[in-house]
Amino acid sequence: MKRDAKKIRNEKPFEFINCKTDEGVMKITEHIIHDVLLGSAPKSEIRQKM
């Protein structure tokens, strides 16, 4: 799978995750918050802190 991902993604990043064991899930979550949401926490997370 890693070989195929490298071939398809070229120089673009990729990460393998395992939802059963949560391996890699936090890394993907951090990426989404930082790069997609531009550092803002999701609204559901903000509501939970209140």
Q: What is the pLDDT of residues 6-20, one digit of tens each?
A: 999 988 888 899 989
Q: Are 24 and 16 in contact (CB under 8 A)?
A: yes
pLDDT of residue 41: 65
Contact present, 24 and 15 (Cβ < 8 Å)? yes
Q: Burial-class residue 1 by CB neighbours within 10 Å (0-12, 13-18, 19+).
A: exposed
**pTM > 0.75: yes or no:** no
CA-wise closest residue to 25 among 33, 15, 35: 15
